[in-house]
Amino acid sequence: MSIKERLNLDTEPVYLIDGTALLYRAFYARADLSRSDGFPTNAINTVMRVLMNLLKDERPSHVAFLMDGKGPTFRNEVYGDYKANRPAMPEPLVEQVEPVRRGVELLGLPLMVTDGVEADDCICALANRYKTDRPVIILASDKDIKQCLDDNVVMVSQHGRKETIHTLESFREAEGMEPDTWPDFQAVIGDSADNIPGIPKIGPVTARKIFAATGPTLEELRDNIGQLPDKLREKVEPELDNVFTYRELTRMKLDSCDTPVEDFAVRDMDPDALAAFFEEYELRGLQRSMPRPQKSAPTAAAKPASPAGDGGMLSLFGDAPAKEKAEEPMAVTEIRDAAALPNLGGEDVGLTFADDAFFIGLNDTDYRYTGPAADLVRAVEHASIIATPSVQDLLRADDAWGHILPSQWFDLSLAAYLLDPESRNYTWTRLKQSMFQDGRSEFADVSRDLHPQSEGLAALAYMRGIEGQVRGAELNPLMRDLELPLIPVLVSMEQAGISVDLDAFRAFLDDVSEQLSGLTRSIIEMAGEEFNIRSSQQLAVVLFDQLGIKAGSKTSTGLRSTANQVLEKIRDQHPIVEAVLEYRMLEKLRSTYLEPLPKLVDKDSRLHTHFNQLSTATGRLSSSQPNLQNIPIRGVHGPRMRACFNAADNNLLAAADYSQIELRVLAHFSKDPALIDAFRHDEDIHARTAALLNDKAVEEVTTEERRGAKTINFGLIYGMGVQKLARELKITQNEAKDFTDKYFEKMATLKAYYDTIVEDAQKHGFVTTLAGRRRLLPELHSRNNQLASQAKRQAVNTVIQGSAADIIKMAMVAAHKDKQLQELGAQLILQVHDELIVEAPAANIEAAGARLKQIMQEVAKLDVPLKVDLGVGKNWAEAH
């Protein structure tokens, strides 16, 4: 439901967006996204996605996207140290400012850059001007903006996945004051983010006592300071003159902007220019989700393009939904004591958490519970089924939820993911929306009597609408026997974390920084002029214009590409190219790992990642905040990077890595005699394949021949086509095609198996992994040959990679439950692709490693043996 629908507005609002705040939030929300040439795109991607969702969900007629411009503001004149503690904008973010501004305008949204004044001031000034004529919705997170809340002005803030709507009424209730006295309050308590001192040792609680005694303004505080207790007066009185200055810093300047609302009418976007923009920055996901113009019946006279409020934008997104009749809020039974709940034994219940309270849905009643989680756990532990949006979130929040058996949970987001692993969005907000707004027939009966604001009952209804689908798709065993039992394993690993050697990180960073400085000097010297090495366009000018290197290729927008794969091809034309490639590699090492990771450790120098169960279509786990699955393994810096991760004092690490698990899965499914025989006799599979392809004995195979066989063995699993094979082996496409044809001629069983996978997928519409995981592949029937070919590769890739993912998940669940590992004090701490790492006391590590290896090798029965390579050491590099 849109914001304006939730607010029940009958007049079209104007949306004022704090673009600078959104830019920063977007930059730090996802730090690992960049173009192939290293140009950062994380902020561009997230800002554009947020704005596209805004256009789709809100269908606004008037929007202002405001960004801070250049130059000091009046606050710097009032107080010289204002924001003096703020670090400079990170260089990777600086590079994205101009593209973000361009993208905003391509979406048809009016952009306002506020030189010499802060965007927050303009937002409040505009809100103050417009509020008498229309509602104003401010999308921002700065608490200072709350001072302009009014009957017709609301502020929507986003923190993580939580969205909060601040209204005049909610502000009064939460803060116990009027918005116009908010600057007075902020002046007293100060703001460390803006370097505003406030009154020393006066926090929010004391400040409220002060204003309660004197009145809500600084003038009343000054005039009635005698009303304060002596000790408090001694703190306040010396700072009276200063706090009036601080109020000038926190008070919004309402005469700073006077733009008429007509200037902020949303324009029609240019789909072609927008598509080119997404292509330029390689934002494929946004490109795929671009709105397409709706075909409409011809009319007698064509209408000219118009602002979105007149229908121009709506034609791109389809017809706006009919306005729903406002509904009465649903009655919720408030309870503080879990004993007040009815007997839940044997019942199906819905359970959600929102706004610092649990909502329990039972029969036709929603209960809002605000007591301790442990008491609620005892109340629901005998329930038959507990339907909840995310078991993982509950376990992360409170260990007490671990007392609930995996068999009792019905994880709504997990079920939605298993049914549609391509969706990518399994938040409760989205799942709930799908019941009320997406018109899905499976929810027609169960949601008919629900109010959109319901919580616990909505979770119960969602389960009843989707559980039949889960059973019908034969996904229940996968969910019950593997995915649900895996959740406590993941949470346990997250909580344990991995120890980090901060001294090793520091030394490594110093070395890399020194090398980068040297490379910078060397590159500038070879270029003959100063330029931004990170700028792909400036680098292109230096390489192709100044130095005369022959350009390798162009981007789709006509720019000369400096992507790494292009530079690799021309690295022998000039030493500067080699230096730039080395610079990029070291810069990524510095910015992605060496600088940020040490800042994320806890007091025990342990790093805690989040394991994502719902992020890949093949079923593989991913890691984020931070991503520990992309830590460099190979190359000159891989071992040193891994050596920075170690065991705690008196402990050691054991790393167990599946050997060639995808090829073993392929051998199992395909029944290829050559593969099966090689694995059963523990032979070098790549040398064996090379011997077969080159008609010679295994011992006569050259290193180059083995490399070619290895490339094609793995390449076919990962969907490698002829073009990529040619690039990998540095041969022509015709040679690559001949090589592939010969491979399938010699490995005829594999070719037949691949064909069978595709035929079955075309017939059923999906493929299935070892554990019963499904992936829908509708593009198999596409008339677009490229899409159809990609879907065929995905079919093979999903069966093989997805089955390998199933096996390692089985091993994780088995290892977590294993009594012997528990007795040895071994803790599973990390999973990276096909590798599991345990930490245990040094005296037990050999036994723990051997037991882990045994579990991994025996967890699944295939036609070929599973093989695990095991290493032990003080750090990850030694163990790996």
Which sign, positive or negative, has the C-alpha torsion 456, 461, 462, 464?
positive
More confident of the two residues 316 and 160: 160
pLDDT at 448: 66
pLDDT at 441: 54
CB 854 within 8 A of CB 640: no
Domain ranges of the chain: 3-173, 333-473, 502-604, 608-672+769-880, 677-746
Share of the chain above pLDDT 90, in %: 55
CB 67 within 8 A of CB 19: yes
pLDDT at 221: 92
DSSP letter string, 853-877: HHHHHHSS--SS---EEEEEESBHH
pLDDT tens per residue across span 575-595: 999 999 999 999 999 999 999
pLDDT at 445: 66
User: Which residue matches tokens 């030189």?
Assistant: 115
DSSP 3-state of 646:
strand
CB 419 within 8 A of CB 470: yes
pLDDT band at 297 (very low <50, low <70, confident <90, very high): very low
Query: What does pLDDT average to over the chain?
Result: 87
Pick the closest to residue 188 from 112, 233, 244, 136 (CA basis).
Answer: 244
Amino acid at 566: V
Q: Which tokens hold the place of 190?
A: 């100060």
Amino acid at 835: E
| Paired strand residues for 838 | 654, 828
DSSP letter string, 411-433: EHHHHHHHH-TT-----HHHHHH
CATH code for the part of the protein at 608-672+769-880: 3.30.70.370
Q: Residue 556 CA to chain centroid, in angstroms?
A: 27
pLDDT tens per residue across span 500-534: 999 999 999 999 999 999 999 999 999 999 999 98
Q: What is the mean pLDDT of residues 20-27?
A: 86
Rounded Cα distance, 243 and 510, in Å: 43
Rounded Cα distance, 245 and 226, in Å: 22
CB 91 within 8 A of CB 46: no
Strands 498-500 and 645-646 turn out to be antiparallel
pLDDT at 85: 64
Residue 444 pLDDT > 80, yes or no? no
Which sign, positive or negative, has the C-alpha torsion 710, 713, 718, 722?
positive
CB 866 within 8 A of CB 658: yes
DSSP-derived letter for residue 32 is: T
DSSP-derived letter for residue 83 is: T
Rounded Cα distance, 731 and 843, in Å: 52
Q: What is the mean pLDDT of residues 753-778?
A: 89
Looking at the structure, give the CATH architecture of the domain made up of residues 3-173: 3-Layer(aba) Sandwich (3.40)
Rounded Cα distance, 243 and 234, in Å: 15
The helix (H) or strand (E) run that includes residue 159 is strand 153-159
Backbone angles phi, psi at 682, to 5 degrees: 50, 45
Contacts 24+ apart (CB under 8 A), 755-758: 757/795, 757/796, 757/799, 758/792, 758/795, 758/796
Q: Residue 310 CA to chain centroid, in angstroms?
A: 35
pLDDT at 557: 55
pLDDT band at 162 (very low <50, low <70, confident <90, very high): low
Residue 609 pLDDT > 90, yes or no? yes
Pick the closest to residue 658 from 864, 418, 421, 878 (CA basis).
Answer: 864
Amino acid at 772: G
pLDDT at 325: 39
Residue 556 pLDDT > 60, yes or no? no
Q: Where are the beta strands (DSSP E) in 581-681?
A: 606-607, 610-612, 622-624, 645-646, 651-658
User: Which residue matches tokens 């000038």?
Assistant: 248
The helix (H) or strand (E) run that includes residue 725 is helix 722-729
pLDDT band at 70 (very low <50, low <70, confident <90, very high): confident
pLDDT tens per residue across span 625-643: 899 998 988 888 999 999 9
DSSP-derived letter for residue 150 is: B
DSSP letter string, 100-119: HHHHHHHTT--EEEETTS-H
Strands 333-335 and 645-646 turn out to be unpaired
pLDDT tens per residue across span 234-250: 989 988 888 998 888 88
* Residue 484: Cβ within 10 Å count: 21
pLDDT band at 296 (very low <50, low <70, confident <90, very high): very low
Q: Is 220 exposed, middle or buried (0-12, 13-18, 19+ CB in 10 A)?
A: middle
Residue 106 pLDDT > 50, yes or no? yes
pLDDT at 300: 34
pLDDT at 151: 92
Pick the closest to residue 629 from 620, 637, 619 (CA basis).
Answer: 620
Pick the closest to residue 470 from 410, 429, 523 (CA basis).
Answer: 410
Starting at the earlier edge strand, list the strands of the sheet with 651-658.
827-832, 835-841, 651-658, 868-873
CB 41 within 8 A of CB 96: yes
CB 864 within 8 A of CB 675: yes
Pick the closest to residue 625 from 396, 418, 853, 838 (CA basis).
Answer: 396
Residue 316 pLDDT > 50, yes or no? no
More confident of the two residues 450 and 399: 399
**Which ranges constitute the DSSP H helices of 590-695?**
638-642, 661-670, 673-680, 685-694
Q: What is the mean pLDDT of residues 175-189?
A: 91
* Residue 539: Cβ within 10 Å count: 23
Starting at the earlier edge strand, list the strands of the sheet with 498-500.
606-607, 498-500, 645-646
Backbone angles phi, psi at 381, to 5 degrees: -70, -15
pLDDT band at 821 (very low <50, low <70, confident <90, very high): very high
The helix (H) or strand (E) run that includes residue 365 is strand 365-369
Residue 550 pLDDT > 60, yes or no? yes
Starting at the earlier edge strand, list the strands of the sheet with 385-388.
333-335, 365-369, 357-362, 348-354, 385-388, 409-411
Candidate ranges 57-71, 86-100, 367-381, 457-471; pick with highest mean pLDDT: 367-381
pLDDT at 815: 98
pLDDT at 295: 39
Helix, strand, coil abundance in the chain, percent, nearest 5? 55, 15, 35
pLDDT at 709: 87
Q: What is the mean pLDDT of residues 423-450?
A: 75
Q: What is the mean pLDDT of residues 425-440?
A: 80
Fold of 502-604: Taq DNA Polymerase; Chain T, domain 4 (1.20.1060)
pLDDT at 195: 79
Q: What is the mean pLDDT of residues 446-453?
A: 73
Rounded Cα distance, 171 and 162, in Å: 17
CA dist 8 → 5, 11, 59, 147, 324 (Å) = 5, 9, 15, 23, 9
pLDDT at 315: 31
Which sign, positive or negative, has the C-alpha torsion 658, 662, 667, 672?
negative
Q: What is the mean pLDDT of residues 710-730?
A: 79
Residue 828 pLDDT > 80, yes or no? yes
